Amino acid sequence: MGQYRIFNEADALVYASDQLDFFPADADLTATEFGDGNLNLVFKVTDQNSKQSVILKQALPYARCVGESWPLSTDRARIEAQVLQIHGEICPEHTVKILKFDEPLSLMAMEDLSDHQIWRAALIDGKQHPNTGKHIARYLAKTLFYTSDFYLDPKVKKAKVAQFINPDLCLITEDLFFTDPYREHERNSFNALIEKDVLALREDFALQSKVAALKYKFLNHAEALLHGDVHSGSIFVTATSTKVIDAEFGYYGPIGFDVGSPIGNLLLNYAGQIGLNDLPTAKAFQAYLCTQISQLWQTFETEFTRLLNEETTDVAFKLDEFQHKMIQQIFIDAIGFAGTELIRRTIGLAHVADIMNIEDTAVRAKSERLALALGRALVMQAEQFETIDDVLDCVNLVSKKFL
């Protein structure tokens, strides 16, 4: 359909009718824009006769949450589509299906997951999906292993690193995760009642040194093709199904970053529980969240270890001692990155409903302080933890001060 232009609902309807081999010729189509994210337009096109529907996602040339003053390359749409296509080939059971990518329009068509629910919303609603953590772990283990030097020919892997250079969105992560929360910056936003806690972080140079090391790893360790944003708002769930979406932050980076992101988001909901529910309900759901975290790591460790043992192609990487150390380093990295997620979501630009839905600012401040305390503990102690149970013991110990 020609060169790039920003779509409206009428454009989405025409595109779905003319450019997608999806709807019948006599379809009665309607289109609705419903994107509530920070960067893109998202349309749902539905056939009123069959009730079949498809999702169109278009990258805007700027950050939607800020406006044209924050320009962004629309090449992120290509990166997102190609990441999801590659991940879909590796792990189709847990990756949204891409129907078409139109590069000139920076537009992607994908399956509609309206029969699923965003995991973050499900967690806020108190719904327990016992298999989601395991599903995410298998998605992570497979996509990260099969796009790494453990499996790929070195020349192929190096070419893919170049293919997925993503400077604009990586810069967002670099700033929002590792830099902005620890200094005064116009993008930061926080509850006035926790200002002392925020100022203390700006003077906590021991913490900032650990965060700087994580940022350096994010910048320089091109280990595998990351999704880049595996938070609970990028995951759709049902009682039996889990699907990952929104891979526009994809690039070649440290494996632990993708593993740590869902752990950090589960702990954000953990922190929010003390403001969202009465104490018995909060404690019961926190126990469920800890079980999910445990299952996520243990399943990832088991599956990634199996893949290392059975499918590693480079003979130098087949040594048991090396593989054990590699898994342990991924664990350490994941816990550190989870800690940065807790901190940046509490006092940075992009907050989460798990905590922001707490209307009473004084009550919310209690959850926010817990999130910051958990984030700091994970970053500072990541190298001291040997097992996921050690991490959860730390979480329980820190949280006792707030319950």
Reported as a single tens digit per residue, the pLDDT across 314-360 is: 999 999 999 999 999 999 999 999 999 999 999 999 999 999 999 99
Spatial separation of the C-alpha atoms in residues 302 and 290, rounded to whole Å: 18
pLDDT value at 49 more than 90: yes
pLDDT value at 276 more than 80: yes
Spatial separation of the C-alpha atoms in residues 211 and 339, rounded to whole Å: 9
The pLDDT of residue 296: 98
Kindly calculate the radius of gyration of the chain based on its CA atoms and give it in whole angstroms: 21
pLDDT value at 1 more than 60: no
Q: Which tops the pLDDT comparison, 64 or 27?
A: 27
Reported as a single tens digit per residue, the pLDDT across 108-165 is: 999 999 999 999 999 999 999 999 999 999 999 999 999 999 999 999 999 999 999 9
To the nearest whole percent, how much of the chain has pLDDT over 70? 98
User: For strand 117-118 and strand 235-237, is the pairing parallel, antiparallel, or unpaired?
Assistant: antiparallel
The CA-CA-CA angle for residues 206, 211, 212, to 5°, reads: 95
**What number does CATH give the domain 117-399?**
3.90.1200.10
Spatial separation of the C-alpha atoms in residues 234 and 84, rounded to whole Å: 12
Residue 67 pLDDT class (50, 70, 90 cuts): low
Residue 182 pLDDT class (50, 70, 90 cuts): very high
The CA-CA-CA angle for residues 206, 195, 124, to 5°, reads: 95
Domain 9-111: which CATH number of 3.30.200.20, 1.10.10.10, 3.40.50.300, 3.90.1150.10? 3.30.200.20
The secondary structure of the chain in percent helix, strand, coil, rounded to multiples of 5, reads 60, 15, 30
- Encoded tokens for 283: 């404690």
The domain limits of the chain are 9-111, 117-399
Residue ranges with strand state E in 208-362? 224-226, 235-237, 242-244, 251-253
The pLDDT of residue 36: 72
**Taking residues 292-315, what's their average pLDDT?**
98
The pLDDT of residue 135: 98
Spatial separation of the C-alpha atoms in residues 15 and 208, rounded to whole Å: 48
